[in-house]
């Protein structure tokens, strides 16, 4: 580094500035590491995806619209997770099975 000042007072000033800057960088690194650790804890604490999804109607009084497998790409926004027995009951009650993920086949449900 040939651009450093030659005299001691300016070198000390530069040293102080760089020490303060280094402290600031270290605080930013610590904050970023904390955010990453919190994000990772959130991922680890996330509950598992449900095995079955029921797609609800437009309002609370509407009957369910469709039944989906838990990982269906075609599930709408108004879904909630349900257990296997609830999924079988929904199919038995006439809720339409999604044509994309075929939950009726996955459940072994035979219509009839």
Q: What is the pLDDT of residue 20?
A: 97
CA distance 99 to 101: 6
Distances from the Cα of 64 to the Cαs of 33, 76, 101, 104, in angstroms?
Answer: 44, 12, 17, 15
What value does the mean pLDDT of the chain take? 91
- Report the pLDDT averaged over residues 66-88: 92
Give the separation between CA 34 and CA 112, rounded to whole angstroms: 56
The tens digit of pLDDT for each residue in 55-64 reads 998 888 889 9
Give burial (CB, 10 Å; 0-12/13-18/19+) of 78: middle
In what order do the strands lie in the sheet containing 66-69?
Answer: 79-82, 52-55, 66-69, 96-97
Give the model confidence (pLDDT) of 21-71 as tens digits. 999 999 999 999 999 999 999 999 998 889 999 999 888 888 999 999 999
**Cβ atoms of residues 98 and 87 within 8 Å:** no
Please state the rounded mean pLDDT for residues 78-93: 93
Looking at the chain, the whole-number percentage of residues with pLDDT higher than 70 is 97
Strand, helix or coil at 110? Answer: coil
pTM here is: 0.60
pLDDT score of 19: 98
Map out the domains of the chain as residue ranges.
7-46, 52-107
């Amino acid at each position: 580094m040939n651009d450093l000042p030659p005299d001691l007072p300016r070198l000390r000033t530069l040293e102080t500035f760089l020490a303060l800057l280094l402290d600031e960088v270290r605080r930013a690194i610590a904050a970023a590491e904390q955010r990453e650790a919190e994000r990772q804890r959130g991922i680890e604490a996330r509950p598992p995806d449900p095995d079955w999804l029921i797609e609800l109607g437009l309002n609370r009084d509407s009957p369910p619209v469709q039944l989906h497998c838990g990982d269906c790409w075609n599930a709408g926004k108004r879904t909630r997770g349900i257990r296997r027995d609830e999924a079988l009951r929904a199919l038995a009650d006439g809720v339409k099975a999604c044509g994309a993920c075929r939950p009726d086949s996955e459940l072994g449900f035979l219509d009839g």
